[in-house]
Chain A
Amino acid sequence: MDYLLTKEQLLARELFREFAEKEVKPLAQKVDEDEYFPTETVEKMAEIGMMGIPFPKEVGGAGGDYLTYIIAVEEIAKYCATTAIILSAHTSLCCYPIYMWGTEHQKEKYLRPLLRGEYLGAFALTEPNAGSDAGNQQTTAKLVGDYYVLNGSKVFITNGGKADVFIVFAMTDKSKGTKGISAFIVEKGFEGFKIGKPERKLGIRGSSTTELIFEDCKVPKENLLGSEGMGFKIALQTLDGGRIGVGAQALGIAEGAIAEVLKYVKERKQFSKPIGSFQGIQWYIADMITKTEAAKLLVYNAALKKDRGILTSADAAMAKKFASDVAMEVTTQAVQIFGGYGYTKDYPVERMMRDAKITQIYEGTNEVQKMVIASHYIK
């Protein structure tokens, strides 16, 4: 798909490939086995401008476009899905809403250091009773003097234990339903804000996924993002961009698994032949590659449309849903092709399969994605 890319995007891709191979790949196994959050990788990404790719230089970004950022997520995910989601949650889910709806003051105070990688960002919408039913927000925010006081909890928050800045959604007016939800910029050190212990997970094990607990948490009123009641709209539009990021992560996982398979089927010999010479294996690989190409087109399509300002929620949902299903299928098939060896931790495909599963679940389960797609077309 190189014909779609500009010369800047091609050069940036070279950079991301080199970085992924030299910095991300060597840590991937440790990140998974030790549930290790790769702080040093985040710092190195920050140094070369990777934590603010799709934002203009005037606000402190790298001046790239969304597709370039998506390519960065994809290239990193080929080696490590954890590192990829750290980048994606930070960029799409935290930097983006501040860029879109933040005041000048908020952008200077939060966006600039976030884009420099000095701060890490997170997005907190999901609650114990509000997953797919995201509108059912139980966390409340009450304006008291110069502060909004937040009470409630959030769960499964990516980057939770490591982020400095959180976009937190809370109900400011329960009577208005989803139109009563507001968005806030919350700093790690705010009074009344506690971060829970990281979850122990099936995959993306190095990702810091935590609960957030608000007990009379005082958020300065200037940290309201947008206006009261705008929160749900901010959440949904932000998630559209985030879903393209997850699509890119899933795409990268699938591509990484295919690369491992292509190498292995040349090396592994059974019945005196490399297994890559058996038609059964060849047919599996043909299907895996075809589906991954299709996923790539959907993900790149969504990114290009976002750059042109014509993205629909359905585009983003299709990209995320299809790519995540492909990632799950391809990685499972990869383990099968590797056979017994693929089931052991000697080879990375079992990790890729475990990592792939979450892409079908977070940032809107694939069931929710189908709801989004259908409602776009059935009016």
Chain B
Amino acid sequence: MIMVYCEQRNGELLNVGLELIGKAVELSKDLDGEVTAVVCGNKITQLSDKISQYGATRIIIVEHPLLEKYTVDAYTEALYQVITSENPDILLLGATLTGRELGPRLAARLRTGLTADCTNLEIDPESKLLLMTRPAFGGNLMATIICPERRPQMATIRPGVFPLPKPDTQREVEAYVFTPKLSEEDIKVKVQQIIAKVRKHKDITAEKIIVAGGRGVGSKENFELLEELAELLGGGIAGSRAAVDEGWLPKDLQVGQTGKVVRPKLYIAIGISGAIQHLAGMQESEYIIAINKDPEAPIMKIADLAIVGDWKPIVRRLIQQLKQTMNIQEEKIS
């Protein structure tokens, strides 16, 4: 039986748990077909309606007043009790920051192995073991891990790795309420204050996604489009020396030999020719997309995806499409 921990915050389910249910259903075809979704909290029985739509065969609602606010102590103990009574073969958790601290604490208490940040899961046809693949060495190496003896086989998976399944609004699954034995003394770490995060303007060397503009962008106002794109992608803007010299961007956003050297996961170069001083600042980016009118521009030769054309309509269209895609995933917590 595969158990999936569904994280909820303030009474709303995170998509990652639903994504994992989808994957679990797929994996369970090679096992006994059972997928149990587990959610912890207080006064959350109504969440079972939503969970039902995503393919689990059973739902356990773990309810207790002390689970109202997340604490690693209470949640670990509650889940420990559920797991020791249900004995799942496999346990999957979302690798959110809370998941990444809950997972190890729980795994250690269960005396079992945990594989973090998996990017792929499969069932080995012969041994029926869960094959957990994850990146190591700063992402330079991939490793496939197994947990042959101890149970459950535990894995955490980052949000967005597996697709969100299409909900079946007609589906109904019975939910079972589990009341864990918890007391105040179990909660050793007291929460004194919660502070909302204000999105700070990051230094470009810290951004994982960069949308950069060069002379081809044409004006300071045009950079607002790049800002919009960057914001949708969760990254920041930057520019070539030409853009900075023109006064379209401040110097601290300059990428290149006399600017900063960046190595983001994604670098989108818009209207940048790719002179050697600029390339020196970004050629180590993991994935490079370049949009330029000139197919022979040096940047087109190092790009993973080189788009020949006028950037403005392309970027406008891309922004539109991104907004559409993101709307579907919008019922998340803030």
A–B contact (CB under 8 angstroms): yes
Task: Name A residues whose Cβ lies closer than 8 Å to a Cβ of B.
Answer: 29, 267-268, 341, 345-347
Q: How far is the CA of A284 from the CA of B280 in the complex (A)?
A: 23
- A79 → chain B closest CB, angstroms: 15
Interface of A is mostly: loop
Instruction: Let me know if B257 is at the binding interface, CB within 8 A.
Output: yes
How many A-B pairs with Cβ below 8 Å? Answer: 16
Complex interface: chain A residues within 8 A of B276 (CB): 267-268, 341
Task: Determine whether the beta carbon of B258 is less than 8 Å from that of A267.
Answer: no
Across the interface, name the chain B residue whose C-beta is closest to A345: B258
Residues of chain B within 8 A of A29, CB atoms compared: 258
Complex Cα distance, B277 from A346, in Å, reads 7
A to B CB contacts below 8 Å, 16 in the list: A29-B258, A267-B276, A267-B279, A267-B280, A267-B283, A268-B276, A341-B276, A341-B277, A345-B258, A346-B241, A346-B256, A346-B257, A346-B258, A346-B277, A347-B257, A347-B277
Chain A's closest residue to B279 (CB) is A267
Q: When chains A and B are docked, how far (Å) is the Cα of A345 from the Cα of B241? A: 13
Q: How many angstroms from the CA of A268 to the CA of B279 in the assembled complex?
A: 10
A15 to chain B, nearest CB (A): 23
Inter-chain contacts of B257 with A (CB < 8 A): 346-347
Bound-complex Cα distance A345 to B280 (A)? 15
Chain B positions near chain A (C-beta within 8 angstroms): 241, 256-258, 276-277, 279-280, 283
Q: A residues within 8 A CB of B279?
A: 267
CB closest chain-A residue, reference B283: A267
- Closest Cβ of chain B to A350, distance in Å, is 12
The 10 lowest CB-CB distance pairs between A and B, nearest first, are A346-B277, A346-B257, A346-B258, A268-B276, A347-B257, A267-B280, A267-B276, A341-B276, A267-B279, A341-B277
Q: How far is the CB of B66 from chain A (nearest CB, A)?
A: 46
Docked Cα-Cα span, A341 to B279, in Å, equals 14
Chain B residues with CB under 8 Å of A341's CB are: 276-277
A341 CA to B241 CA in the complex, in Å? 14
In the complex, which residues of chain B have a beta carbon less than 8 angstroms from the beta carbon of A347? 257, 277
Residue of B with least CB distance to A29: B258
Closest chain A residue to B301, Cβ basis: A269
Q: Which residues of A contact B283 (CB under 8 A)?
A: 267
Q: How far apart sit A346 and B258, CA to CA, in the bound complex (Å)?
A: 6
Least CB distance from B298 to A in Å reads: 9
For the complex, give the distance between the alpha carbons of A321 and B279 in Å. Answer: 38
Contacts of B241 in A (CB 8 A): 346
Residue of A with least CB distance to B241: A346
A346 to B244, CA, bound (A): 14
